[in-house]
Amino acid sequence: MHDFIVNGLLAAGIALLVSIAMGPFMIPFLTRLKVGQSIRDDGPERHLSKAGTPTMGGIIIITAIMVASFVMAGSSQQVLVSVSVMLAVGALGFVDDYIKVVLKRSLGLRARDKLFWQSVIGLLLGFILVYYLGRGTEIIIPFSGSRIDLGYFYIPFVMLVLISCTNGVNLTDGLDGLASGVTLSVVLAFALISIMMGHFNMLVFCGALMGACLGFLVFNHYPARVFMGDTGSLAIGGAITAIAAINRAEIALIIIGGVYVIEVLSDIIQVASFKTTGKRVFLMAPLHHHFELKGWSERKVVWFFSLLSLGFALLGLLGYKNIG
């Protein structure tokens, strides 16, 4: 096990160095392509100054993860599947970003088209997990230690997890450094769960994901020089889904990724309330914007949500204690 922990740390280091090395080249390249972020005019006024900041920086994250994963665990089927899912969902995000910033269609991919392709990728992931990796169809219930066999329902269940997680990370990616800061705690928890489950190659993949996010933060912390865009947020969501599913931790993801869940719920509540009553529950959704409009600084919101994510990660780990 010691060797795998070292490999995980090395993967994190490689991804960190790759992402930091790519930044000074990729950011000017994206700037020359004029792939600047458009800003909602109904949001906080101080966000208007971010207009034109290059997006699609998720390319940095994806490349760093791929390099580190293949160098340290390239022969692992679990890692290969995880990278493939990340690439597939990241490609979907890239198309969405391209439509928004290059073709100047602010809404990007139509919601139904995005949902369709997320569903296809999720179903393929479920099928591969069951019939290629031999993962089975059981899921672990945190705190109880019991397992439930979903049988034929497992594959559509994975599809729902992928759709939920990718959109959760996407909604969280609304402030400088927020998505990466929250994700670090989530992936650290899953790295420890990978050790508990004996999936040591997934520890390498977790290390690569953490290193890539940490390296991206060098350029994405406030004031951000580049945004990850849907390219990065969807890729991260896909990677986390693969990690959780391989570790039978799909239910634990609800706890560990608690910030993602809160962000999604705040958006759903806001829309439902406005459509049914004409009133808004929050000043603005997702929830991080509500705190901004309450007067919190962007840095304060990011730190608060990052610490909240750490708390959720610790709670999720408690629920997974002694499960193997």
> Which burial class, exposed, middle or buried, applies to 55 when counting CB atoms under 10 A from its CB (0-12, 13-18, 19+)?
buried
pTM: 0.94
Cβ atoms of 86 and 235 within 8 Å: the answer is: yes
Establish whether 170 is an annotated binding residue. Answer: yes
Residue 230 is labelled as binding a ligand: yes
CA nearest to 265, candidates 282, 245, 240, 243: 282
- Give the separation between CA 15 and CA 4, rounded to whole angstroms: 16
For the chain, domain boundaries: 2-320
Digitized pLDDT (tens) for each residue of the chain, 324 residues in all? 677 789 999 999 999 999 999 999 999 998 887 766 655 555 565 655 566 788 899 999 999 999 999 999 988 999 999 999 999 999 999 999 989 887 777 677 888 999 999 999 999 999 999 999 999 999 999 988 799 999 999 999 999 999 999 999 999 999 999 999 999 999 999 999 999 999 999 999 999 999 999 999 999 999 999 999 999 999 999 999 999 999 999 999 999 999 999 999 999 999 999 999 999 999 999 999 999 999 999 999 999 999 999 999 999 999 877 565
